[in-house]
Amino acid sequence: MQTQLNTQIMKMSILVLLMILSFTGIYAQKNIAGIWEGKMQVTSFSLRIVFHFEKANDGTYSGKMDSPDQGARGVACENVSLKNDSVIVTIKKGAYFKGHMLNDSLIDGNWEQGGKKIPLTLNKESAVSKNPDRPQTPKPPFNYNSEDLEYDNADKTVHLGATFTYPKGNGPFPTAILITGSGQQDRDETIMGHKSFFVIADYLTKKGYAVLRVDDRGMVKSTGDLSKATSADFANDVETSLNYIKNRKEVDQKKIGLIGHSEGALIACIIASRNADINFVIMLAGQGIKGEDILVKQDEDVLKSYGLPSKIVAEYSIIYKKVIADVLAEKDTAILFQKVINDYKEWKAGQSESTLKALKLSTDNSNDNKIAKDFVLGFTSPWMRYFLVTDPQPMMEKFTCKVLALDGSKDLQVNASINLAAIKKTLKKSKSPVYDTKEIPGLNHLFQHCKKCTVEEYAELEETFAPEALEIMGNWLDKNVK
């Protein structure tokens, strides 16, 4: 009897346990539907990433992604999956978010792209956080004409989306094409919520100029292969836009010019060196020296902005220059990796522990291969190889157009004094009828008044583009073009 009773109790206990486990399993089913937001550190600045996940009746998920600081919204996710606590999101081929759902409001994971993993923790939010106020962003109604356009290059391999603004009244008008800097950006050159090109276009159109601003390949309305694209390919895209506006009755064909920011200034140099009908070029934070020299100086200035002593910065610059030399000398990736790892280990062996710690490098050998791999990945894309070897000086020597070169004294990415001096010296050898260079005190690479003047500060500043920089451009154009 006792044995039977114990058996019944055991059966009941097992049944109750199974019911509890079953209930718990149902209750604990995870759900990622909703808004998830986080920040990831990209080189020296952070970017907000926002996912909008939706759950269908069959239990599957779909999603869209925003990168608010880059002006990208509603990017379709190719695949969204939740298995147990594992979350995998495919944004596009080669770009993923992979994480673990720690609880109902936290997913811890990594953004994976190009062989790199960047930590990204997502928090569930009731709404997307707002960008800091950007008071200079123009707001309608506008007292000028504005048209959204789409057109193709000659062989239909690139489709471009753009906005063309021009004054009301009788034309034709002097016209500028705006050219964005490095990295894919929309027609407004949106960076961390700042729409610099929208501000510039609005200002110049109100002063009587027509302005065309264009989405880069792969952004918003523009398409085109990016996998092997270089500045030379982007110059071809700008020439597509140039050919387009030559057919517009609002455009004064004798007064078409280019305004390029950062890499955009280099692209303007490429185009103006082979198009004699370019009337003017405005270089905003443009380079006057070879790409590899730009990067070395940029690396040194950014490290110093973090408070690192000049001696430590100089030590790191040794290996930085050596890696660039390896990249330029060797195209075979496997051989290049071995060269870089050998050079890095040799350099590291000669450094003190305090120097390595200051540079946040491991003092043992556990991370050496990864560091070498990151170096190689960062320097071997077609775009980067082209940039490293490109010297704008031979291009500028061919100029027959008017030129204005501006830079901010606090620019950490394109050193103002070195590059403006090189531009001025080179233009003396050209056939440019007018050329002016000016360093504007207190402005950073985006032409903002800055305090810390670090790259991260771009996102913190309300100002998008310094009024005095706009005024200098406008007055120069009025004097030399209009």
User: In Å, what is the CA distance from 62 to each residue of 33, 265, 454?
Assistant: 9, 40, 37
pLDDT tens digits for 31-78?
999 999 998 877 556 788 999 999 999 889 999 998 887 767 788 899
Per-residue pLDDT of the chain (482 residues; tens, 9 = 90+): 444 434 443 444 433 333 333 333 333 458 999 999 998 877 556 788 999 999 999 889 999 998 887 767 788 899 999 998 899 999 877 789 999 998 889 999 999 887 778 899 999 998 877 767 799 999 999 999 999 999 999 999 999 999 999 999 888 999 999 999 998 899 999 988 899 999 999 999 999 999 999 999 989 999 999 989 999 999 999 999 999 999 999 999 999 999 999 999 999 999 999 999 999 999 999 999 999 999 999 999 999 988 899 999 999 999 999 999 999 999 999 999 999 999 999 999 999 999 999 998 888 888 888 888 888 888 999 999 999 999 999 999 999 999 999 999 999 999 999 999 999 999 999 999 999 999 999 999 999 999 999 888 888 899 999 999 999 999 999 999 98
The helix-helix angle for 310-329 and 291-305 (nearest 10°) equals 150
pTM: 0.80
Tokens of 395: 């291009």
Q: Where are the domains of the chain?
A: 34-125, 144-290+390-480, 292-387
Q: Residues 433, 402: contact at Cβ < 8 Å?
A: yes
The DSSP bridge partners found for residue 159 are 152, 223
Smallest Cα–Cα separation from 204: which of 474, 478, 481?
Answer: 474
Look at domain 144-290+390-480 and name its CATH class: alpha beta
pLDDT tens digits for 293-339?
999 999 999 999 888 999 999 999 999 999 999 999 999 999 999 99
Q: Residues 69, 459: contact at Cβ < 8 Å?
A: yes
Q: How far is it, in rounded angstroms, from Cα 239 to Cα 258?
A: 11
Give Cα 358 to chain centroid, integer Å: 27
Q: What is the pLDDT of residue 140?
A: 93
Decide the pairing of beta strands 144-152 and 159-167. Answer: antiparallel
Q: How far is it, in rounded angstroms, from Cα 81 to Cα 372?
A: 33
Q: What is the CATH number of domain 34-125?
A: 2.40.128.120
Q: What is the pLDDT of residue 215?
A: 96
What angle is formed at CA 169 by the lines to CA 168 and CA 171, rounded to 5 degrees?
105
